[in-house]
Structure 1
């Protein structure tokens, strides 16, 4: 189970991993916490404007269905409303009723219900920073961490289904500085224009702390599925933008992985890992 904040996050974070496991016959469920109602059209070549709210949410539902098909995964809407990304100094208050303001017990119960129904052995989501400071990404981490603790406890949310205890919890690391710098330097060495130059400088200036990597999944064979899922989110992803600025043969050579941090485990495993299911045995299945 991969828990994400908005439609398109599943295609930019851990997408090739989910495609790899789905292709191998593993049941994979993407949970999308919000409908992306407060998003805007970010692709300059999209061709039309969409109003915030119901109009863009309807389009993003169609995009999400196409992305899930490209990855070969199932997808579930958790049903909360996009909080938007507040901007300004000071930051404005979050909109009433948005995901980030819903009481944690309420949103955690909603995810616990899905965990108990789907019964995942492995859950992936964001680290406590959210990966970047969007309130919905931070809340997604908080909700997933709460559901991880509660799903197997019969005393928590007794009306939310039969308890189920997931075995491993991971954080995505798709935008680590190590990855960005490696790809950037390889492109510069090859005489190519890197899409990450400004980003490297900007992020380095912020002194973003790199979190530990415990698990690397080989996914180069599934870059095509990831790319198709990205393109499915046509309101959000520029087909000529930085997601597609790296030649895939170069990416395959220098960074054929997606990386994770094992945040918690209820089974023994040996680090580093090359499989999210490392440590599971037939008795767990």
Structure 2
């Protein structure tokens, strides 16, 4: 263990880092923690979700370059380091039955090979803490589910010099804690929904709650609540940097900032693996680590 704290956030596409845990990362950057975002794909098959940019021929033809530029801007805003794992976006299959995934995409990658790329990044960066998605991917996008698979495998395999030899993948490193992002949780959604209605505002969450009720949505265990309301504006600015993916007039930005800070001033995580002693609930991803750093 060294004196420097390091956090690695593993995400599927450019923009995921700004919609999931961005305020947490900005908070830790402000405290001097080194933060690295690993982006598994280039987001090449992502739809243009901003109505103002739909139909732009240049963007459609150069979507890979555009999304890379957006990622560069978001990275600067958040103050994090960022690297690409080098895979091609799978796209979100739609239809009944679902069509097959495109050849060569991340969702069809060999899990051991993809985990090896992440092992190399873990050993080079040496994070004590890694965040990623749960087994459902947060939502069932094939790239999110694959991100989960390789992150869980790489967390363990970063110490395995037999499977991933040091001469090829770097000296072994033992990360201490693995978390799943759980920012889109029911408790938060209900609290904001009810606060908006009580103050006479419209809520963007009514349909969310209805879908969850119809699907018998089961809540995950929220073990860790990171106070980071002071960094919500940085989070939103980073998200807006992904201009092809975010409608600035959409639901992401319909909750007034003062209500967000008052009603739900934290981002949530689920601790799934820990090699250090910690007490739940936590308010720090580095709980149990700081005293030894």
What is the CA–CA distance in structure 1 between the aligned matches of 2:251 and 2:67, rounded to whole Å?
21
Moved over 6 A (4+): 51-54
1:218 matched residue in structure 2: 227
* 1:20 counterpart residue number: 27
Which residue number corresponds to residue 177 of structure 2? 168
Helix, strand or coil at the partner of 1:64: helix
Deviations 1:193-225 (A, max 9, x none): 111111111122111211101000001000111
1:193 lines up with 2:238 in the alignment = no
Q: State the alpha-carbon separation in 1 of the partners of residues 63 and 108 from structure 2.
A: 22
Q: What residue is the counterpart of 1:62 in the other structure?
A: 69
**Is 1:153 aligned with 2:184?**
no
1:240 and 2:249 are equivalent in the alignment? yes
Which residue is equivalent to 1:2?
9
Q: Show structure 2 runs of 5+ residues with no match.
A: 1-7
Alignment match of 1:105 (pick from 96, 100, 112): 112
- After the TM superposition, which residues 263-282 of structure 1 pair with which residues of structure 2 at under 5 Å, given as runs? 263-282=272-291
Aligned residues: 284
CA distance in 2, matches of 1:163, 1:38: 34
Given the superposition, is the C-alpha separation of residues 84 and 185 from structure 1 closer, same or farther in structure 2, using an over 3 Å criterion? same
| Partners of 2:59 and 2:66 within 8 A in 1 | no
Among 94, 115, 132, the alignment partner of 1:87 is 94
1:260 paired with 2:233, answer no
Q: Aligned with 2:269: secondary structure?
A: strand
The correspondence of residues 200-215 of structure 1 with structure 2, limited to 5 A, is 200-215=209-224
TM-score scaled by length of structure 1: 0.97
Give the secondary-structure state (helix, strand or coil) at the position aligned to 1:28.
strand
> Does the 8 Å contact 1:41/1:49 carry over to 2?
no
Distance 2:290 2:78 in 1: 26
Q: Kindly report the root-mean-square deviation, in angstroms, between the aligned alpha carbons of the 2 structures.
A: 1.3
Q: Under a length normalisation based on structure 2, what TM-score does the superposition of the two structures give?
A: 0.94
Conserved in 1, the CA contact under 8 Å of 2:129 and 2:175? Answer: yes
Q: How far apart in 1 are the matches of 2:52 and 2:271? A: 38
